Amino acid sequence: MLAILTGHRKKATQGTEAQAVQLETSNMTLEIRVLLMRHAETALPHVFHGYESNIDLGPRGYRQAEAVAPILAAFKPDVLISSNMLRARRTADAIANVTHLPIQIEPELHERKVGNLQGSPVMGEFGVWPDTLAKWVSGDTAYTPEGMESFDQIRDRVLPVWDRVTLENQGRTIVIVAHGIVCRVLMLSLVEGYNAADWPRLGRIANVSISELVGSGRSWRAERIGYVPDEVRKINETEEMRTPG
């Protein structure tokens, strides 16, 4: 009788352990790969384009999008997401043509609201934008001139989208086509070891540059940041050689 009871206890213990392992496995979050990409070049690349501008791609932008599409397709993505702004959607169209994925539109991934900065020339180290960026890097991420979005406002707008789409696509590869500042704010808010002070550390986030993030929840690591494929570099260099002066 004792042997029988002992056997029952062992089976019960084994059953409990198996259930615990099964529960633990079911609660594990599968890693997700996100290919976060800035849209291709606009028709007027030398001025600021914020949320207020729904400008299309320029000729070079369309060539960039076509060049980067097969590179992204090689990752065998499961999901293709885009901002609803025309420049992002046109970039995503080229990717969709190669991957045969439907485009999931996420309107809250739109470009930063820039107010009266819209349409003004990019002026290098002086002006409203460099002053704003200096405050963000120094820790004042709530700062913004009137009519424009702060770092905090952008973060609070885009992180819920990120959380939702990654939760819905665990274990999958996602392509997200967004905007330069959106890409930066996402990475500085999500990648381990980064914050707003690391804005310069990210380097340039060029048109159709790819930042590859792997992780889940709020734990992400960057496999690469701002990677520009050679196929795109060749297009950029060829266009620059054709430009007089």
The model's pLDDT over 155-199, given as tens digits with 9 standing for 90+, comes to 999 999 999 999 999 999 999 999 999 999 999 999 999 999 999
Same domain, 12 and 74: no
Quick one: pLDDT at residue 123?
66
CA angle 130, 85, 127 (to 5 degrees): 15
Determine the 3-state secondary structure of 113 from DSSP. coil
Same domain, 52 and 26: no
Same domain, 24 and 87: no
> Which tokens sit at 109?
């991934």
Listed range (47-61, 172-186, 212-226, 229-243) with the worst mean pLDDT: 229-243
User: Cα dist. 119→50, 151, 183, 192 in Å?
Assistant: 8, 21, 21, 35
Same domain, 18 and 62: no
pTM for this model (two decimals) = 0.85
> Which tokens sit at 94?
């080229």
pLDDT mean over 44-57: 93
The residues pairing with 81 across neighbouring beta strands, listed in sequence order, are 104, 176
d(CA 159, CA 168): 14
Quick one: pLDDT at residue 240?
55
Instruction: Provide the domain count of the chain.
Output: 2
Same domain, 22 and 35: no
Same domain, 7 and 95: no
Residue that the structure tokens 């790819």 belong to: 210
User: Cα dist. 225→169, 200, 211 in Å?
Assistant: 22, 12, 4
Question: With 70 as the cut, is the pLDDT of residue 2 above it?
Answer: no
Structural domain for 7, as ranges = 1-30
Q: How confident is the model at residue 4 (pLDDT cuts 50, 70, 90)?
A: very low
CATH of the domain at 193: 3.40.50.1240
Quick one: pLDDT at residue 9?
46
Backbone angles phi, psi at 7, to 5 degrees: -60, -40
Quick one: pLDDT at residue 28?
60
Same domain, 8 and 45: no
- Please state the separation of Cα 200 from the chain's center in Å: 17
Same domain, 21 and 129: no
Backbone angles phi, psi at 215, to 5 degrees: 160, -150
pLDDT mean over 95-119: 94
Q: How confident is the model at residue 204 (pLDDT cuts 50, 70, 90)?
A: very high
Residue that the structure tokens 């424009």 belong to: 148
Listed range (12-21, 50-59, 87-96) with the worst mean pLDDT: 12-21
Q: How confident is the model at residue 124 (pLDDT cuts 50, 70, 90)?
A: low
Question: With 60 as the cut, is the pLDDT of residue 18 above it?
Answer: no
Same domain, 22 and 91: no
Same domain, 19 and 95: no
Quick one: pLDDT at residue 203?
96
Question: With 50 as the cut, is the pLDDT of residue 151 above it?
Answer: yes
pLDDT mean over 126-136: 88
Same domain, 5 and 121: no
Same domain, 26 and 38: no
Quick one: pLDDT at residue 141?
98
The residues pairing with 148 across neighbouring beta strands, listed in sequence order, are none
